[in-house]
Structure 1
Amino acid sequence: MDASVEVPDVVGLENAAELALTSFCWWRADLPRAVCETYWRDVHGIMFARAPGLWQYRQLRLGGNRPDLWPAVQGLSFDAPEVAQPQGIPHGLFLSEADLVAFGDHPLPKDVIPRDAHHFLGRIGALLSPPGGGRTLVDRINDPAVQGPPPVPTFALCFVPRAGAADGFHAFLTERVARPWSEHPDVVRLRVEPLPPYESAMSSPGVAHRWPGEETYLGWIELAVRDGAVLGDLLAGPADFAHHVSALHTYPVREVYTLISGGRPTEVGLRGYPAVRAIIAAGAENQRGAAVLTRLFGDAVRGLDQLRKP
């Protein structure tokens, strides 16, 4: 590799954030999935890139649960009812409580975005991780703004604690599961996100917020591996895994769209994915420059810098 080419420090970038917001989304049943996903990314999503406060904002499009990827473990369920399986995870990072407050006080997140959600969402559950709880333990992909299908098999692994195991579950998930898994040579990205007991942190008029079922998640791991067969090796770790976890649901991440990275909107966050693809295909490099983007989008281009004005 050319020594002059700077390799992004994705781990450092993401771990600079103190707070993380995870939402689980279910699309409207009366609309085609493609309509819901396109609206989510190119209409609803770009509004986040116009508001100050977010350090990172990504959308993970999910496939159906894959219980077949794991070996059988006594006392551990890998099955999830279809109605309970989310189809998308928007994931946001905030550097500080002050940035979260600034984001929440802006007219877009405070009013417009919640009132827009019913156009594509049938249900949403939003959870704010404990301060400093979420951590990216490894990232060998080294792309802070992934757009489209991930380069290697990627999964959102969602954990249901065993009854009576809630106390200490976050420490178990981070130290006994996520950290050893991150050291496996075939794991190329791992972020662990402890979650509080379910109570939606956001409300949207016309969108249901009650969790669809009895099993709610107390944490999730974003896992990217060189080969899906690695998953069986990982589960051979803690001998008491099933004493802490009653169910593990495995959602393949079909696509990732990064709308904000390092506190600033990406091109996809500003323009929407189809426009960026057209600009790249046409070779219209002038459309990607700071001068044109600032003319078009004003202070939104500066992202978090809007909060740092003297």
Structure 2
Amino acid sequence: MGGVTTIALIERRPDISRSLFTRYWRDVHGVMAARIPGFDCYTQHHVTPLNPATEPFEGIAIVTYRSEEDRAGLIHSEVTQHIHRDEQNVFRRALLYNLGEGASQTVVGNVGAAGHTMFLVVETGADVGAIVASLGEAPLYLAVHDLTGGDPSGWNQTDTSGRVFASLLHGVWPDRASAVTAAEKLPAAAYLLNEQHVMVAGGKPTPVGLRGLDAVRTIEEAGADNQLSDAVVRAVYGLLAAP
């Protein structure tokens, strides 16, 4: 992982339940975002902070692009204005970091590693290199996203007062216990994965990104496989979905 990346750290509105936040971000907001042109891959990570009393984020989105030119759709597409307005429905705050070439690096393994996913959000002032070194060979997968080159204040007039973040570490451990043990030793806020949904893959919306998970589950329960065919998707949505 060394290309062009966008990271979003998302806080739920406190008057919105966790269940509603999860469903809305996945099946409404996420389906809208999957229509933004230029995304190569868009994955939602629904997370729980290891210390809910002090840590605010419940969603982490990672978007990759083939080039900086492809990211222009995030700013200039017709969908973006609706994305901005929709965020206010369930998000208290969305910190969006547009990272340049090389700001996201895979340290070990590959993103498809099986295990327990955990994210570490590192505040400015912490020694990111020392944190990565202290993890040793324990993670099955580890990617480091340098957030210092991004400016979340430019996205939807985001309030960036308070804590400032330097890096996002995305790791996979053999099991939950080993992930928690690692987190408890580190000067970083830890977030454990509850749900992961790939909304765009290979430049195309996935079935979930196209329709939302509840609709896909309903189609599968009914055995209506023809609803997922290229011909139906093209006729109804005017595009092809990722397999």
| Normalised TM-score (structure 1) | 0.68
Paired residue type of 2:58: Q
Which of the residues 28, 31, 40 maps onto 1:55? 40
Alignment identity in percent?
Answer: 26
CA–CA separation in structure 2 for the residues paired with 1:210 and 1:160: 13
For 1:151-190, what aligned pairs fall within 5 Å after superposition? Answer: 152-162=115-125, 172=129, 177=132, 181=135, 184=137, 187-190=139-142
Does the aligned pair in 2 maintain the 1:65–1:85 contact within 8 Å? no
Give 1:115 deviation, angstroms. Answer: 1.3
Other-structure match for 1:12: none
Letter in 2 for 1:85: P
User: Which ranges of structure 2 fall in alignment gaps of 5 or more residues?
Assistant: none
- Is this contact kept in 2: 1:128–1:201, CA < 8 A? no
Q: What residue is the counterpart of 2:93 in the other structure?
A: 123
Deviations 1:229-252 (A, max 9, x none): 4348868xxxxxx9xx8x211110
In the alignment, what sits opposite 2:9? 24
* Contact 1:20 1:92 survives alignment (8 Å): yes
Is the deviation greater in 87-96 or in 196-205? 196-205
CA contact (8 A) 1:56 1:262 kept: yes
Matched, 1:224 2:172: yes
Q: Would you say the 8 A contact 2:116–2:179 is kept in 1?
A: no
Q: TM-score, normalised by structure 2?
A: 0.86
Total equivalences in the alignment: 240
Q: Does 1:295 align with 2:235?
A: yes
Query: After TM superposition, which residue ranges in structure 1, 4 or more long, deviate above 4 angstroms?
Result: 231-235
Measured against aligned partners, the alpha-carbon deviations of 1:46-71 in whole angstroms (never above 9, x if no partner) come to: 112222101111111111225xxxxx
Structure 2 matches for 1:55-134, cutoff 5 A? 55-66=40-51, 82=54, 84-109=55-80, 111-134=81-104
Which residue of structure 1 aligns with residue 224 of structure 2? 284
**In the alignment, is the contact (CA less than 8 A) between 2:230 and 2:241 conserved in 1?**
no
The structure in which a higher percent of residues are strand is 2
Closer/same/farther in 2, CA of residues 197 and 52 from structure 1, 3 Å limit: closer
Please state how far the C-alpha of 1:288 moved relative to its aligned partner: 1.4
Match of 1:135 among 105, 113, 120: 105
Deviation for aligned residue 1:157: 1.1
